[in-house]
Structure 1
Amino acid sequence: MNEKNSNSRLGRGLAALIGDVPPIEATRINSGDGIRRLPVEFIVASPNNPRRHFAPEDLEDLTNSIREKGVMQPILVRPSPLEPDQYELVAGERRWRAAQRAGLHEVPVIIREVDDREALELAIIENVQRADLNPLEESRGYDQLMDQFGYTQSDLAQVIGKSRSHVANTLRLMKLPTEVQQFVSDGALTAGHARALITADNPTELAKRIIDGGLSVRETENLAQKQAQAVSGGEPSAKGSAKIAKDADTLALEKTLSDLLGLKVVIDHKERGGKVEIKYRTLEQLDDVCQRLQHR
């Protein structure tokens, strides 16, 4: 990321870029506040909008509201980078879709000159703040910002206004098989269920058992642990069974670190801190870990 540009935007959120805009009915259009009206056919959807699923019942409710009261908040658009006299949606696609269904010919908009990176950032911010994205859409959006524009997890946490652990846990959902991801997108599984499946030997089969049985997240975590023990041939000892089962995020982090180092990593997390154990067999393995740490 360009450090200067990113720091000037970090944490500003959607409102800082479009201003604290009052409802349209309390605002005079074209009164110097930056709000204009555009024909709906002049606006095109963004191919990079992280939101892909629009629940028909929610869209119908918004359509009825717009049909009666109009669009109460402006839609954020930018000049289309591909077609003159067209504008690409940055935020507010659901309002734009509902306005068309309601038969409106024009919608209130705010036009901003933003690049691809800023447009995607704003789309994610608005949807996350409104809780409009399902967990997989949120994960794909974060992954796209990291892949295309070089964001780090710390950058994302600062821009989106979430904790770094939230960003890391959300990104882990991308490791799930496509069928399990679809269960999350459809709402059959929650993000908590999905994270518990990341370390499972057969997450798709386990996901179907969870859905059929209506299992809770805690039950899912216990089931995933039992499956892992069965695959490894190990049985929990009496001492081990008395311990509180590790949550899915801790198990996923253990696996990530183990894969990174090529050694077994155990995390003992408690309410106030904890410890990380790296198990090695030879001095060469220990030396390799030391070399990695020195070059960080």
Structure 2
Amino acid sequence: MSKKTEFQALDLISAYTEKKKSPTSLDLNQIFPNPQQPRIIGREDVEDLVQSMERLGLIEPILVRKDKNKFWIVAGERRYRAALKLGWKDIPVIITDANEEVCYEMSLAENEKRKNLNPWEVGKAIQFLRKDKKKTADEVSKLLGYTERYVKQLSSIARLDQKSVMELMISGAPLSVKNLETLLKKKENRGGETISPSSSGIKSKILLDLSTLTVKARDSFQKELNVLKKKYGIN
């Protein structure tokens, strides 16, 4: 598999949760969800946690980062939302002094550990790390424990819009890498090409004007064309 079995960024959580032995409590109105939370789909679907926390209470405190007078959730947003539904006034927390960038990586690690993210969401998180945080594909691959090829593969999937991903999910199809890549090719009018051989044996030349395309679009077209030329033996 292109994805490694161990998620290396999990070390970030253990590295910044030494205070776990003595969590504190915070009023829920002091705590705010992270707007850059990697989990996008179903983040408010917490009925399973509501039932569990109603019976057993909160087994694991949530992790938060203080910024001025607010506390931003690093890990445990669904537990926080379940507490709100239960009408709790406060919730046990661990306060980390890690910076915002490390906290984002911890949030990604925590979600992945709990298998809360689908490949598109992981791809969006990778896209954020690469574009907004200026990390290279190699740096992200080392952080997540993925191969560089898998990182680039998920980055491509992230080009899909949320509506298309939701429609795929509603259709009942699993949000697998394969299904998402197929959907992306369909959205970008790629794949499924067929070329019929000429019966006359007469060679023809086709000229294409790519001057109106962006550099990125020309590069993408050239790559697709090279694949077809190799596949069908076109010179």
Band the TM-score falls in, shorter-chain normalisation: 0.7 to 0.9
Q: Which residue of 2 aligns with 1:146?
A: 130
* Residue 16 (structure 1) aligned with residue 15 (structure 2): yes
- Highest relative contact order (Cα 8 Å, sep 6+), 1 or 2? 2
Checking the alignment, whether the CA contact within 8 Å between 2:19 and 2:94 is kept in structure 1 is: no
The Cα shift of 1:104 comes to 2.0
* Residue 76 (structure 1) aligned with residue 60 (structure 2): no
Structure 2: distance between partners of 1:98 and 1:236: 61
> Structure 1 residues 105 and 137 mapped into 2: Cα distance closer, same or farther (>3 Å)?
same
Checking the alignment, whether the CA contact within 8 Å between 2:47 and 2:82 is kept in structure 1 is: yes
State TM-score, norm by structure 1: 0.59
Structure 2: distance between partners of 1:102 and 1:75: 16
Q: Which residue of 2 aligns with 1:45?
A: 33
The Cα shift of 1:96 comes to 0.6
Match of 1:100 among 84, 87, 105: 84
Q: Which residue of 2 aligns with 1:110?
A: 94
Structure 1: distance between partners of 2:96 and 2:43: 28
Q: Which residue of 2 aligns with 1:165?
A: 149
> Structure 1 residues 171 and 45 mapped into 2: Cα distance closer, same or farther (>3 Å)?
same
Match of 1:259 among 197, 215, 219: 219
Q: Which residue of 1 aligns with 2:109?
A: 125
State TM-score, norm by structure 2: 0.73
Checking the alignment, whether the CA contact within 8 Å between 1:13 and 1:159 is kept in structure 2 is: no
Letter in 2 for 1:97: R
SS of the aligned residue for 1:265 comes to helix
Match of 1:66 among 35, 53, 56: 53
* Residue 194 (structure 1) aligned with residue 180 (structure 2): yes
Checking the alignment, whether the CA contact within 8 Å between 1:90 and 1:119 is kept in structure 2 is: yes
Between Structure 1 and Structure 2, the one with more helix by share is 1
The Cα shift of 1:47 comes to 0.9
Checking the alignment, whether the CA contact within 8 Å between 1:173 and 1:181 is kept in structure 2 is: no
Q: Which residue of 2 aligns with 1:137?
A: 121
SS of the aligned residue for 2:40 comes to coil
Letter in 2 for 1:43: I
Gaps of 5+ in 1: 1-8, 22-32, 204-223, 238-255, 268-275, 282-296
SS of the aligned residue for 1:175 comes to coil
SS of the aligned residue for 1:117 comes to helix
Structure 2: distance between partners of 1:262 and 1:171: 20
> Structure 1 residues 11 and 77 mapped into 2: Cα distance closer, same or farther (>3 Å)?
closer
State the Cα deviation string for residues 39-68 of structure 1 (Å, max 9, x = none). 111111111112123266x51121111111
The Cα shift of 1:98 comes to 0.6
Supply the RMSD in Å over aligned alpha carbons: 3.5
> Structure 1 residues 70 and 225 mapped into 2: Cα distance closer, same or farther (>3 Å)?
same
Output aligned runs, 1:222-241, within 5 Å: 225-226=191-192, 228-229=193-194, 234-235=195-196
Checking the alignment, whether the CA contact within 8 Å between 1:36 and 1:108 is kept in structure 2 is: yes
Checking the alignment, whether the CA contact within 8 Å between 1:50 and 1:138 is kept in structure 2 is: yes
Structure 2: distance between partners of 1:103 and 1:41: 12
> Structure 1 residues 62 and 178 mapped into 2: Cα distance closer, same or farther (>3 Å)?
closer
The Cα shift of 1:10 comes to 6.2
SS of the aligned residue for 1:110 comes to strand
Letter in 1 for 2:62: I
* Residue 88 (structure 1) aligned with residue 72 (structure 2): yes
Output aligned runs, 1:251-290, within 5 Å: 259=219, 262=222, 264-266=225-227
Query: Could you tell me the percent identity over the aligned residues?
Result: 24
SS of the aligned residue for 2:46 comes to helix
Match of 2:24 among 28, 36, 54: 36
